[in-house]
Amino acid sequence: MARTRWLGCTLIACLALAVPVAAQAPRSSDPLAPTGAWSANVRGQAATPPMGWSSWNAFETAIDEDKVLGTARALVSTGLAKLGYRYVNIDDGWWAKRRLSDGRLQIRTDKFPSAAVGGAEGTSFRPLTDRLHAMGLKAGIYTDIGRNSCSQSYSVDTTHLPRGTVKEREIGLAGHVERDIPLFFREWGFDYLKVDACGTDETSQQAWQARRADFAAYPPMIVRDSVNRSDIAGLKAAYQAVADAIAHARPNGDHVLSLCAWGAANVRSWGKDVGNLVRTSNDITPVWGRMLHTFDSAAGRPLYGHPGAWNDPDMLFIGHGDFDARHLTEARSHFALWAVTNAPLLIGYDMRDAPRSLLDIWGNADLVRANQDPGGHQAVIAYASDDVQIFVKTLAGTDRKVVAIFNRGTGPANVKLMAEHLKFAPDAPIALRDLWSKERTAPFTGMRTIAVAPRETVVFEATGTRALATGHYLSELPGRVNVAADGVVAPQADPTIHRAMDPWAGTISGGSRPVYAGWGGAQADQAPYGETIRLAGIEHRTGIGVLANSRLEVRNDREYRRFSARVGVDDNTTNPAAEVEFLVYADRRLVARSPRMRFGQPPATLTADIGSARIVELVVRQRNDLGRPTTTAWADAALLR
């Protein structure tokens, strides 16, 4: 992955120096108390979303050394490595067993012959990672937070699975974090770790029982269809222990930690504080509807992803099924949507024989640059329907935006792109450059109609005059916002995610119902439950919708000098009797406070001099507990110079 340099250091390293992390913040039992700190994860090498290749979508467990090295050579020879595709990740299928004499993991030397080093080690991946590093690449490995891996739960073919006794086949991290993490990072030289969660999953336990497989029972932490029955605190603690062990094993911070809990156990709310990548859904498959499902799980969470911790809708499936070389419209849409959502760009194809048409998609330098933009602002939904969506992404340090217009349907659509969607001035010219064709269109003012074919995503770089000339609306800068507390009391599944038919159970189950917690969290340019922000009958197209009893951390980095917003209780609140108060802090100093407000009252205007603050915190406190969430808004919230 290309490291973004900023003032002589990586962005994340500089951020860590400039902003106190959560461990340095004053301790308080009140989650709404200002800390003056950025509590989201800043450890690791993920200033921009990681890019590279992963073996699973290409080979599943049938991975071997020739395939890994062949892929590495292809990344270099095609120029993709130079573009940023640097991680070469070995997924499930590499292990032979756990050696009982000392607990050391052993590698399948029939698949990875260079690992047969002999001696006390028995096997080692160091010869392979050394070869990858010599090619200018990074190396990744896979494990599970429980005792056993996902392939041990679900693979019909056991050819590539660990062999031996029950204990020898327990190759996951449970009970072995202090041994396995130094092995992966210090001894074997890996740079990236994906940690799956099948070993702690109730569904996997049931799969073992149904197959009468010989595995030791493990108390499940994840119940996929019930966030209330999941052990959220236990799962978070298990992943935190891994993160801490990696920080100790790699004190230089050159690592990536990918959390793969599939959006379960309310990982939306805490994963960003622990890892660098946070899976937001179950696995992708090369089917259009499944791609919609995984994409939707991440696309509605722009305030939960930022430099150091990214939403992850799973690996790319370009080259297979509905996204193969015969379906280039779908393949381009898949790539463009991942790019503007700041998803990791991890190719899942046999790169040793990749056609030019697919290489041109992965190699679209303009879309890669958008994905790797140092601002880290995930695209925000400017317009949404079941047919068409418009996503707008702010590029750092410029007046340029990237806008993606996605036709989800089966018929052509004529989409009216407005200056308002882009937060550009309606009376100033707007120029568009197509990031697929590279063509520039004649400038327009106000609005332009764009034809979008079925399943197509057109992507433009847009240049214009900002509607807010003296600063930015906060919803333009989601990469600067961390939702430290979102006011969600009882996590609920998000009903807006596309309900694709289950690729494993099909129609045998009771239906593909929403299971991923995230409904009611903080939202950019809409209310928490998807409505337009409305305060006392007045519609606001920009702002942050959030529940009461919430705290947002805003990384100001001494760049802006004032904050302004219109605040109040949203018209669609389910708790109209609640009384709330809005507070603004600059480096823990209270700089603005609203009167106590209730449903139906006109919004209050808050303005604050934030001076040279590093961290601005926006707090909404509910003053009377009525047992239901209160929908509120920081409408027109802006950072001003």
Q: Picking from 47-51, 224-228, 326-330, which range would have the lowest pLDDT averaged per residue?
A: 224-228
Per-residue pLDDT for 5 more than 50? no
pLDDT band at 27 (very low <50, low <70, confident <90, very high): low
Helices and strands in the chain: count of H runs, count of E runs? 15, 34
Tens digit of each residue's pLDDT (9 = 90 or more) over 274-327: 999 999 999 999 999 999 999 999 999 999 999 999 999 999 999 999 999 999
The single residue listed with the structure tokens 């890669």 is 368
Which residue out of 92, 144, 196, 324 is catalytically annotated?
Answer: 196
Is residue 360 annotated as part of the catalytic site, yes or no? no
DSSP state of 478: G
Distance CA 635, CA 632 (A): 9
Residue 110 or residue 503, greater confidence: 110
Pairing assessment for the beta strands 533-535 and 138-144 based on DSSP bridges: unpaired
196 is catalytic: yes
- Mean pLDDT of the chain, nearest integer: 93
Provide the token pair at 366: 């303009």
If we measure between CA atoms, which residue out of 305, 284, 303 comes closest to residue 293?
284
Q: What is the pLDDT of residues 588-598, one digit of tens each?
A: 999 999 999 99
Q: Yes or no: say if 288 and 334 are a contact pair by the CB < 8 Å rule.
A: no
Q: Which tokens belong to 45?
A: 């090498």
CA dihedral angle for residue 330, residue 334, residue 335, residue 339, rounded to 10 degrees:
150
Question: How does residue 398 score in pLDDT terms, banded at 50, 70 and 90?
Answer: confident
Categorize the per-residue pLDDT at 517 as very low, low, confident or very high, splitting at 50, 70 and 90: confident
Does residue 547 have a pLDDT over 70? yes
Q: Report pLDDT for 157.
A: 85
Candidate list 91, 180, 201, 283, residue with the active-site label: 283
Instruction: Tell me how far apart the terminal alpha carbons of the chain are, to the nearest angstrom.
Output: 33
For 391, the 3-state DSSP assignment is: strand
As given in the structure block, the two tokens for residue 334 are 């898949």
What CA–CA distance (Å, rounded) separates 592 from 601?
19
pLDDT at 13 over 60: no
In the block, which residue shows the tokens 């507390």?
485
